[in-house]
Amino acid sequence: MPTTSDIQITLDLRNPELDDEALEKLTQSLRREMLDLDEVKDVKRVLDPNPPAGNKALGAVLVGLLTAEVNVKNIKALFGFLSDRLGGKAITMEIEANGRKLKVTASSQQELLAAIQAAQQFVAST
């Protein structure tokens, strides 16, 4: 029986073709756009569990990583958004639902569509 609980999705946008500044701009832009989606409950930056020595910030973030929380009924809409927004860009998604995890990687539009299909099947089976 399908669940109605929330799903945690970690997006890894890190790509050797992007420098840190371009990656940070992409990460911030994607986070803002995702926060504007009604289907997404929350989007957070991923905190660095081992910040550099002498770091005075309350928590350093890892560049290129986002964690989104979405209800299972809205997952298809989120995946559609990601397909439109990130098609052709390298991305790794880790989906966690009901204690199970699935990790998929894509570096082209075709691979992203296949990864999204695999993620949708994974969510439907949890």
Tens digits of residue pLDDT in 47-78: 877 766 665 555 578 889 999 999 888 888 88
Which residue's structure tokens are 């986002």? 66
In this predicted structure, what is the pLDDT of residue 56?
Answer: 55
Length of the chain in residues, anyone? 126
* 24: three-class secondary structure by DSSP: helix
How far is residue 94's CA from residue 42's CA, in Å, rounded to a whole number?
Answer: 16
- Compute the average pLDDT of residues 39-51: 85
In this predicted structure, what is the pLDDT of residue 16?
Answer: 84
How far is residue 5's CA from residue 15's CA, in Å, rounded to a whole number?
Answer: 31
pLDDT score of 24 more than 60: yes
Where does residue 11 rank: exposed (0-12), middle (13-18), buried (19+ CB within 10 A)?
buried
pLDDT score of 4 more than 60: no
pTM score of the predicted model:
0.82
Contact in structure between 24 and 13 (CB atoms under 8 Å):
no
Of residues 75 and 33, the one with the higher pLDDT is: 33
